[in-house]
Structure 1
Amino acid sequence: MRGGRDVAAVTDATFRLHRGECLALVGESGCGKSVLASALLGLLPGNAVTRGRALLGDLDLLTADERTLARTVRGRRIGLVPQSPAAHLTPVRTVRAQLEETVRELTGVRGSGLRAAAEAAAERAAFPADHLDRYPHQLSGGLAQRATTALALVGDAPLLLADEPTTGLDRDLVDRTADELRRHVDAGHALLMITHDLAAAERIADRVAVMYAGRIVELVDAAGFFGTPGPRHPYARGLLDALPERAFTPVPGMPVELTDLPPGCAFAARCARATAACAQRPAVTDGVACHHPHRDESESPRA
């Protein structure tokens, strides 16, 4: 709820995520990606209402109580790389102390092996050993990001939620972080990566889900999304065309406000392919929610 009005932050989000698979969730800021991750972890505000099911094995995350989420899910069955890393680090404890505590709680390592295990976790996330004894306020944004990534990887959780895991990193570190996340996936874990970085998504994703105005408008194999035939939804194609190495053409207009969604297609006002049919909400057909999806890579937009 915002300003006394109900806001449908996420609707019709339907997907399966398997072990050994990375699903990249992409879209502009404010489209609902982080809200979806918060819902899965039970971290939504108290006035939020959830409907539907989110099954992790036989556990429905949307109906699980806080005790279950805190004791058996967060960190153990679901690891989180948060969007705002500094807010998730304890300000009065060093990175080393936080890593050692997490290793001890999630893996049971004690004694002399604890220090080595914490340093190994830091190395996985490319966190420099000579910064382990620093406090969070002494870290740059990129270092804080790497510290939270190290913490998230400690427990080898079956599912990892990575919310903008490459923010604040230079290109080399983006690639190294993406490769480490891919190794986590290849070890048999599932990864939901929320990202604006389409290059990182292309590097490690198996499938791509495109979200617009709180709805997944396209769900497709990564190879087809980044290669041939390319995205079919006009918004998804616009995201790719905005990349410097492609057309470098931004998606026209501004994202629709979630408090003022139209009854039909939420993207219609920004879409060159829109027709009168778009006044009706499009159903999802073959993984795409669009009345006029692209059919092949060479097809030109409708007039």
Structure 2
Amino acid sequence: MTELVLDHVSVRFTLPGATVAAVNDVSLRVRPGECLALVGESGCGKTVLAHALLGFLPGNAQTSGTATLTGDGPPLDLLATPDAVLAKTVRGRRVGLIPQSPASHLTPVRTARAQLEEAVRVHHPSDPAPRDHAHRVAARAGLSPADLDRYPHELSGGLAQRVANALALVGDPWLLIADEPTTGLDRPLVDGLIAEFRRMVTDGRAVLLITHDLAAAHRIADRIAVMYAGRIVEIGPTADVFDTPRHHYSRGLVNALPDRAFTPIPGGPPLLTDLPAGCSFAPRCDQVVPVCAERPTLTDDDHAYACHVPC
């Protein structure tokens, strides 16, 4: 069975005089036929984790743990797989990526059509009509044929996002990692993207949605993993995390929604160069007790949380 299993994954960046602990001991499983949303404030490590899975980290990064992708062929530890193998057998084929800031990932001197047709030829070399294939994928992403004749600098933010979405869908990957895919899209296009994700899930594939938009996660995801200061602090079925959050950070995120209490979480996250020894959320939490000086671990159940005094 195809699945992705992360086991104690950590990512560190070495800087002059400091170490950035961007991802800390993350363990989770992405299952076939589900959308898992990874949510949390900007800077909590969500995008770094995605880049680690696809080998897009800079040279000063150090990783530990394993990220095992099973399915076609022998299991692959994505953190230990050489870049040439990732490029040839994983990226775009088994794992697709909708990047954050998509315009910066497009080739500036080629039209959207040229880039999309090239992706079709790479992933489907036997297709006799790459242009028709490109048009079909573009339509799934909400693009018209006229949109494809534009260069990246001629695309609005929303159109650039749609082109990135189309490029990620070309290879029909088993797992789609979508990093803030609804940014810049109006409601009808968000609805279309959600429908596309649900089609993938119905077909037995998987979506890892990375977002700080809890409202979008609520609409799309089957399960939600809440990330804070590089750690997973809660994970469970979407309804459980929204309706009965167990971690106080999760409760704060939910209460900040406009249709809830609309109350912001006080304070700010800790520096990733100077994380507290115990619970990283303790400086912002109104339920701190002495045991919070010790680092909590995730409970071992379907709705897991890492809190000494849960909600």
TM-score scaled by structure 2? Answer: 0.91
Match of 1:119 among 135, 138, 141: 135
Counterpart residue number, 1:250: 264
User: Structure 1, residues 159-195: CA drift from partner, whole Å, max 9, x if none?
Assistant: 1110001011122222221221121121111111101
**CA shift at 1:110, angstroms?**
3.9
Query: Would the aligned equivalents of 2:15 and 2:60 in 1 still touch at CA under 8 Å?
Result: no
SS at 1:145's partner residue?
helix
TM-superposed deviation, 1:283: 1.8
SS in 1 for 2:62: coil
CA shift, 1:109, in A, is 4.5
Letter in 2 for 1:118: A
- Counterpart mapping for 1:74-85 below 5 A: 74-85=91-102
Distance in 2 of aligned mates of 1:212 and 1:120? 39
8 Å CA contact 1:103, 1:109 repeated in 2:
no
SS of match in other structure, 1:203: helix
2:18 aligned partner = 5
Q: Which amino acid aligns with 2:94?
A: R
Distance (Å, rounded) in 2 between the aligned partners of 1:60 and 1:265: 29
2:8 corresponds to: none
Deviations, residues 121-146 of structure 1 (Å, cap 9, x unaligned):
11111123221100000001111011
Q: How does 1:102-141 map to 2 (within 5 A)?
A: 102-111=119-128, 113-141=129-157
Which 5+ residue runs of structure 1 have no aligned equivalent? 295-303
Preserved CA contact (<8 Å) 1:175 1:200? no
Which one-letter code corresponds to 1:121 in the other structure?
Answer: V
* Superposition misfits of 4+ residues, deviation over 2 angstroms: 108-111
Specify the alignment match of 2:44 in structure 1: 31
Partner secondary structure for residue 254 of structure 1 = coil
Q: What corresponds to 1:172 in structure 2? A: 188
Q: Is the 8 A contact 1:121 1:153 kept in 2?
A: yes
Q: Residues 17-40 of structure 1, C-alpha deviation per residue, up to 9 Å, x if partnerless?
A: 111111100000000000000000
Q: Which among 70, 79, 83 is matched to residue 66 of structure 1? A: 83
Q: Specify the SS of the correspondent of 2:208.
A: strand
Is 1:269 aligned to 2:283, yes or no? yes
Segments of 5+ residues of structure 2 without an aligned counterpart are: 1-13
- SS across alignment from 1:71: helix
Give the letter for the 2:82 counterpart. D
Which residue in the other structure is 2:4 paired with? none
Q: Secondary structure at the match of 2:252?
A: helix
**Offset at 1:4?**
3.0
Corresponding position of 1:234: 248
Secondary structure of the residue aligned to 1:199 is helix
What SS is found at the alignment partner of 2:58? coil
Q: Distance in 2 between matches of 1:152 and 1:246?
A: 34
Do the aligned partners of 2:235 and 2:241 also contact (CA within 8 Å) in 1? no
Normalising by structure 1, we get a TM-score of: 0.93
Q: CA deviation at 1:223?
A: 2.0
Structure-2 separation of matches of 1:59 and 1:212: 28
Q: Secondary structure at the match of 1:49?
A: strand
State the AA in 2 paired with 1:15. Answer: L
Taking the aligned partners of 1:4 and 1:187, their CA distance within structure 2 comes to 49
Kindly report the root-mean-square deviation, in angstroms, between the aligned alpha carbons of the 2 structures: 1.1
8 Å contact from structure 2 (residues 67, 79) kept in 1: yes
Structure 1 match to 2:7: none
